[in-house]
Amino acid sequence: DFLSPVCIGEGANVSAEITYTSRHSVEVQVNVMSENILTGAKKVTNKATLWYVPLSLKNVNKVLEVPPIQYARKEQEDEGKKRYEEQKLDRLETKQRNGDVIFPVINPEPHTVGYSQSSLIHLVGPSDCTLLGFVHGGVTMKLMDEVAGIVAARHCKTNIVTASVDAINFHEKIKKGSVITISGRMTFTSNKSMEIEVFVDADPFVDEPRERYRAVSAFFTYVSLSKDGKPLPVPQLLTETEDEKRRFEEGKGRYL
């Protein structure tokens, strides 16, 4: 959640703590607080929950067990387990959508899905990767946010900002030397916000016979702003196909 901007010249304090562990995963909750150095005023600007899986250094395909943490209260463990089950279901649902592909549209009408959809192609280099040669999650997130921002700007033709990100799901690892295609499309609009689906497909071109596969997927929410930073109305998304109408209704359900 992007609650407030962090301005140039302000300090940013990023704090993180482990809040739940399952047998093979770790939940980490992160908060970002900005501080005006001159006035001392502080405010929470960002909140997020991230899930990590530990892998063996000798065999990157082997998932290791996680040492359990001690909870101050039994309720904390129960609440964490509930979040764990919810994110498992979300990952399963997004994985089932992985057959979707974005095709170019010739001469699309304004405010249709085809009008604003966008793609970016990126060659994964050493600076994008961990020591084991797999893409950093943060690198992928940044590229996805760029594509989602282009889709939002194309749709409303105004200044736009990220409001929230709904569960970036990393389905499979991406190796160094792969070519990734980041694709985004508008799925839903309310009066003041836009939901954009973004997914990443990987082509392992270097020493790898494997075909293209869906590696990452997520939903981004953007809002439209005036030059003064005030919210603007968002043009209604025009759905044309049955799939677009279905995705719009699904987005409406997430919004409500």
- pLDDT per residue over 147-188, tens digit each? 999 999 999 999 999 999 988 999 999 999 999 999 999 999
Domain ranges in the chain are 10-95, 113-255
pLDDT for res 256: 85
**Could you give the CA distance from residue 196 to residue 147 in angstroms, rounded to a whole number?**
9
Note the pLDDT of residue 24: 95
Query: Token pair for residue 126?
Result: 């050493």
* pLDDT at position 69: 96
For range 181-210, the mean pLDDT: 91
CA distances from 27 to 77, 83, 177, 246 (A): 11, 9, 30, 32
Q: Which of 27-36, 76-85, 87-96 has the lowest mean pLDDT?
A: 87-96
Amino acid identity of residue 189, one-letter, is: T
pLDDT of residue 97: 67
Retrieve residue 36's tokens.
């005006």
Is 44 a residue whose pLDDT tops 70? yes
Q: How far apart are the first and last CA of the chain?
A: 16
pLDDT the model gives residue 93: 76
Topology at the third CATH level for domain 10-95: Thiol Ester Dehydrase; Chain A (3.10.129)
Overall CATH class of domain 113-255: alpha beta
Q: Is the pLDDT of residue 206 over 70?
A: no
Q: What is the pTM of this model?
A: 0.88
Question: CB of 100 within 8 A of CB of 109?
Answer: no
Among 51-60, 89-98, 138-147, 179-188, the range scoring the smallest mean pLDDT is 89-98
pLDDT of residue 223: 97
Asked if 10-95 and 113-255 have one fold, the answer is yes
What are the tens digits of pLDDT across the range 114-154? 999 999 999 999 999 998 899 999 999 999 999 999 999 99
3-state SS class at 150:
helix
